[in-house]
Amino acid sequence: MTIKVGDAIPSVKIMQATAEGPKEIDTAEFFKGRTVVLFGVPGAFTPTCSAKHLPGFVQHAGSLKAKGVEAIACMAVNDAFVMGAWGKDQGVGDTIAMLADGAAAFTKAMGLEFDLTARGLGIRCQRFVLVAKDGKVTHIAVEAPGAFEVSKAEAVLAAL
């Protein structure tokens, strides 16, 4: 079942890409006590994710923070080294936490996985965005396959 408004963020151990290297985090702890925007992408370095999705959140980070967002995180079913390299390539700096859900455990716990094995890509995360306040989902938007409308930074700004 897909996570929905009012649900608690599941507690799963994933990795965060940091300047010092991969760091294990508990997702429930990451979201606790603050307002977080989390957006998920099918994969680092993929076309729409690199050209539009991540850059949009980098561009609008200041506007999101002005609306009360305390942290912005990007997540994909990739390893922390890939997420770190992608963040560096995209110039995210400390603006966006790059979260690596390498085994898709967090993605599956939220019911946001989809199977692209037939296309040689394995289990991936659906393209989505959510807002959580103190670990509870207050907004979520999941894209239809191939779409990029409801999960972009501008759509989140309009929803806040």
Q: Which amino acid is at 58?
A: V
Is residue 49 part of the annotated active site? The answer reads yes
* 8-state DSSP, 94: T
Rounded Cα distance between 64 and 39, Å, is: 13
Edge-to-edge strand ranges of the sheet holding 128-133: 21-26, 13-18, 97-100, 71-76, 35-40, 128-133, 136-142
Which residue out of 25, 36, 49, 61 is catalytically annotated? 49
Chain centre to alpha carbon of residue 151: 10
What are the catalytic residues? Answer: 49
